[in-house]
Amino acid sequence: MAFSISTFRDKTRKYLLNAATELNREVPNVSFNVSRVEDSGIYLSALIKDAPTELPDLVDLEISIKELEGGKDIIDVDVVWGHDGHGCVEGSFYSEPITIDEHVLERVYLDLPRLILVLKTAVQRKKPYNWEK
């Protein structure tokens, strides 16, 4: 079953809202929230409340859809550290943005459980995997 972009956004947002609710129960001292930037991206953000000041305190599962000239759409999906995390990527759906075809959105949706686990693992570690400070 192929998803339209609209259907993908709706289903993904609902899935991530449910995941955020579950993660907020499972992972202490972390606040999980879902946000959506109109016509751009969906984010599952994890704010580590007790992060030491020398470490980043924000990890996002970012799902970004962009329209390119010529009517093609691309999607980029990463779990990435913010707030001075130097953009450390913990995990990705694919190593670079890819053109959306009739099956890409379905494959991204099916990969959400793995990406959420990557996010959960990162916040439980409380620092990027390659942190050297």
Residue 46: closest CA among 77, 14, 20, 10: 20
Indicate the burial class of 11 (C-beta count within 10 angstroms; 0-12, 13-18, 19 or more): middle
Asked if pLDDT for residue 102 goes beyond 80, the answer is no
Residue 94: closest CA among 105, 82, 78, 79: 78
Asked if pLDDT for residue 116 goes beyond 90, the answer is yes
pLDDT band for position 70 (cuts 50, 70, 90): confident
- Domain edges within the chain: 5-124
The Cα–Cα gap between 65 and 56 comes to: 26
Check: CB of residue 79 under 8 Å from CB of residue 60.
yes
**pLDDT: which is higher, 86 or 45:** 45
